[in-house]
Amino acid sequence: MISALILSAALAAPAGPASPTQRLAEARKLVDDLQYDKAVKVIEAALAQSGMERDTLIALYELAGISYATLDKAAKAKEAFQQLLSLAPDFKLSNDLPPRTRTPFFEAKTWLSETTPVAVAVKSTLENGRLSGLAITVTDNALVVVKAVRVTITPPGGQPETATIVLEGKQASTPLGENGAAYTVEAINDRGVLASTSGEARPAAPTPAVAKTVAPAPSGLSWQATTGILLGVAGVVTLIGASAAGLASSSARTRISQAERSPTGVVVGLTQREAAQLDASARSTALVANVLFITGAVVAASGLAFFIFGSPSEPAPSVALAFSPMGALVSGAF
């Protein structure tokens, strides 16, 4: 008898409160049946609950906006659409709805353009070049406020771990192993999930080795001394050229002076034309020899001066040497 009474009482006991998803299904049916006043009560009861998924919240706000607008409660309809668009900025309302429903929706879109929707961004942080954690930043607005983030970390080959972190100035952070991990970050408040993002934090790429450029050891000679040596070499080369020209001129004159003569003293070893050519050659090579001797002496003397009085603190100049039958040409920037 007692057992029967207990069983009867248990069967008569009311069931627990409906879940948000159950109330969402009930509200949808009421809206389909055009019972908007009853649908509003079910929606408000659902929105008073906590821990809802983002999709459930979005659907409830959509039905709330439609129901309030149909009942000529434009202000409440606009607020419901504002909350909807805060979670889903790209949401599109059905074109089949009447203007009195669509008008508060477009007013809510105008409001959103002047504020920010709810969003969450995640960035890996490094410490000493190694992956160390996640830096989390959220955005929200005055109507829909993010209070915390729920972070789920799944390390490679490990089990997911979830932690709720209260925001400080719309920011939060969580440590992470240097081997990286998959993550899901959800922006939440008392009603449930407002926004989420997922990704994978990878270990930092190794820093490529940077080739070091070793400056060559400074030369023991200053640029003036180096220039002096170059000028000295140029002077010596020029003097050698002068000597060669002088020998050529002397050889031509020797051939003329030692040409075979007849008993009467007339030159018979050379024709008059050959003698004239040799004389001209002797004169020209003698002129070249004189110019080269003077140039070589000047260049060699300049080189000696540079070598003796050179200063090691000044930058090296550019020097160019050019040789011609008339001598050596030295040019450069000093």
Tell me the pLDDT tens digit for each residue of 194-244.
999 999 988 876 666 565 555 555 555 666 667 667 766 776 776 676 677
**Percentage with pLDDT > 70 across the chain:** 64
Q: Which of 230, 233, 241, 237 is nearest to 291 (CA)?
A: 241
Give residue-wise pLDDT tens across range 15-44: 568 899 999 999 999 999 999 999 999 999
pLDDT at 223: 63
pLDDT at 270 > cutoff 60:
no
pLDDT at 4 > cutoff 90:
no
pLDDT at 307: 64
pLDDT at 126: 87
Is 4 inside a domain boundary? no
pLDDT at 317: 52
Of residues 220 and 130, more confidently modeled: 130
Is 256 inside a domain boundary? no
Sign of CA dihedral 24, 26, 30, 32: positive
pLDDT at 9: 40
Report DSSP state, residue 13: S
pLDDT at 7: 39
pLDDT at 231: 64
- Total domains in the chain come to 3
Give residue-wise pLDDT tens across range 56-73: 999 999 999 999 999 999
Give residue-wise pLDDT tens across range 140-157: 999 999 999 999 999 888
CATH number at 33 reads 1.25.40.10
Q: Do 235 and 189 share a domain, yes or no? A: no
Of residues 284 and 321, more confidently modeled: 284
pLDDT at 301: 72
pLDDT at 6: 39
Segment 165-174 shows an average pLDDT of 91
pLDDT class for 132, splitting at 50, 70, 90?
confident
pLDDT class for 2, splitting at 50, 70, 90?
very low
Beta bridge partners of 126: 131
Q: What gap in Å lies between CA 302 and CA 331, rounded to an integer? A: 13
CB neighbour list of residue 202: distance below 8 Å, 6 or more residues apart: 124, 131, 180
pLDDT at 122: 94
Q: What gap in Å lies between CA 42 and CA 33, rounded to an integer? A: 14
Is 259 inside a domain boundary? no
Final residue belonging to a domain, choices 76, 111, 146: 111
pLDDT at 245 > cutoff 60:
yes
Mean per-residue pLDDT over the chain, rounded = 79
pLDDT at 316 > cutoff 70:
no
Q: Do 25 and 105 share a domain, yes or no? A: yes
Q: Do 324 and 240 share a domain, yes or no? A: yes
Of residues 130 and 295, more confidently modeled: 130
pLDDT class for 297, splitting at 50, 70, 90?
confident
CB neighbour list of residue 333: distance below 8 Å, 6 or more residues apart: 317, 318
pTM of the model: 0.58
pLDDT at 313 > cutoff 90:
no
pLDDT at 130: 87
In the sheet that 193-201 helps form, which strands lie side by side, from edge to edge? Answer: 161-166, 148-154, 181-188, 193-201
pLDDT at 11: 42
Final residue belonging to a domain, choices 80, 111, 142: 111
Q: Do 241 and 319 share a domain, yes or no? A: yes
Domain that holds residue 60: 18-111
Q: Do 24 and 102 share a domain, yes or no? A: yes
